[in-house]
Amino acid sequence: MFKAEIKSETLKGLVSIISTLIDEVKFTVNSDGMSLKAVDPAHVAMIELNIGAKAFESYSATETEIGVDLDKVKSVIKLAGPGETIIMEQDEGQGRLVFKIGNITRRMNLIDTSCMNDPKVPQLTLSANIGILVDQLQKGIRAAESISDHIALKADSEGFELSCEGDTDFASLRVEKAALESLKADSKVCSLYPLEYFSNLIKAIPSGTIVNIELDDDYPVKLVFKLANGESTVSYFLAPRIESD
């Protein structure tokens, strides 16, 4: 059983993040909230999302799984005006999810989740830890676009740097320690990541959000941030590109 009411803006924020990675997803539902673990088809990135019951206007559920196509959910969200809420209810007998927005009813078949296994979330201990406003990262990404397919993330005890180097062009954004939310980097660390994955995620994060970056040399980067007024936590892992000599 699953029935919940959510502000359309909150649902939109959550769906925007997940759909940077994957379209068809399985939510694991219980009385405390919903969660999701997913990797992209190329196994380059992984997302782990927990949405607490308090992220909803109202929430009541027992243990269940809900498989949905996020493109359809996006089209439902567009039907809501600013400030409107969306009621979602699982129609268990017939395997459907029903959305209600004012006098609109929108029903869709659920996706079969029997073959959708949860990926294993890596346990990583990364030496550098940077807290930064997403707006800074978004500015850096705009500068990096069309220069190279990869982006370098670097940290040292003085600050954080995002840079991109091509054959004829170079772009970087340097944020000194004083302009960061937090910084812990005993030694200098640096890794290369695929720009498109990083860029799609960063652009989908709402302005004003603080992103926590865990970084090490030639290791996956782990990005952690909150959505839904702090009631939802996202952990995002992105594999490094390791340059061979």
124/179 with CB nearer a second copy? 179
Site for a second copy in 117-146 (CB under 8 A): 139-140, 142-143, 145-146
Q: Which of 41, 42, 78, 114 binds a second copy (CB under 8 A)?
A: 78
By CB under 8 A, is residue 92 in contact with a second copy?
A: no
Residue 104 makes contact with a second copy by CB under 8 A: yes
- The structure tokens listed for 93 are 């007998």
Candidates 22, 108, 116, 126; binder of a second copy (CB under 8 A) is 108
Buried b (16+ CB within 10 A) or exposed e, 88-120: bbbeeeeeebebbbeeeebebebbebeeeeeee
CA-CA distances (angstroms) from residue 116 to 120, 136, 138?
A: 13, 36, 32
Q: Is 79 in the site for a second copy (CB under 8 A)?
A: yes
- CA 132 to chain CA centroid, Å, is 16
Q: What is the CA radius of gyration of the chain?
A: 19
Angle at 135 between CA 70 and CA 75, to 5 degrees: 20
- Contact call for residues 36 and 47 (beta carbons, < 8 A): yes
Say if CB 136 and CB 144 are below 8 A apart: no
User: C-beta of 234: minimal distance to a second copy in Å?
Assistant: 26
Q: Near a second copy by CB under 8 A, which window of 24-32, 172-180, 182-190, 212-220?
A: 172-180
Number of residues lying near a second copy (CB under 8 A): 27
Selected from 30, 58, 60, 105, the binder of a second copy by CB under 8 A is 105
Q: Is 207 in the site for a second copy (CB under 8 A)?
A: no
Residue 103 binding a second copy, by CB under 8 A: yes
Cβ atoms 48, 225 nearer than 8 A = no
107: contact with a second copy by CB under 8 A: yes
CB-side exposure of 73: number of CA atoms within 13 Å?
27
Only one of the segments 98-106, 124-132, 148-156, 186-194 lies at the binding site for a second copy (rule: CB under 8 A); that segment is 98-106
Burial (Cβ within 10 Å: 0-12, 13-18, ≥19) of residue 178: exposed
Q: Which is nearer to a second copy, 142 or 184 (CB)?
A: 142
Q: Which residues contact 75 (CB under 8 A, 6 or more apart)?
A: none
Per-residue tokens: 154: 């670097």
Interface with a second copy, residue 229, by CB under 8 A: no
**Minimal distance, residue 127 CB to a second copy, in Å:** 24
Based on CB atoms, which residue is closest to a second copy, 119 or 166? 166
Is 203 among the residues that bind a second copy (CB under 8 A)?
no
The contact set with a second copy (CB under 8 A) reads 72, 75, 78-79, 103-109, 139-140, 142-143, 145-146, 168-176, 179
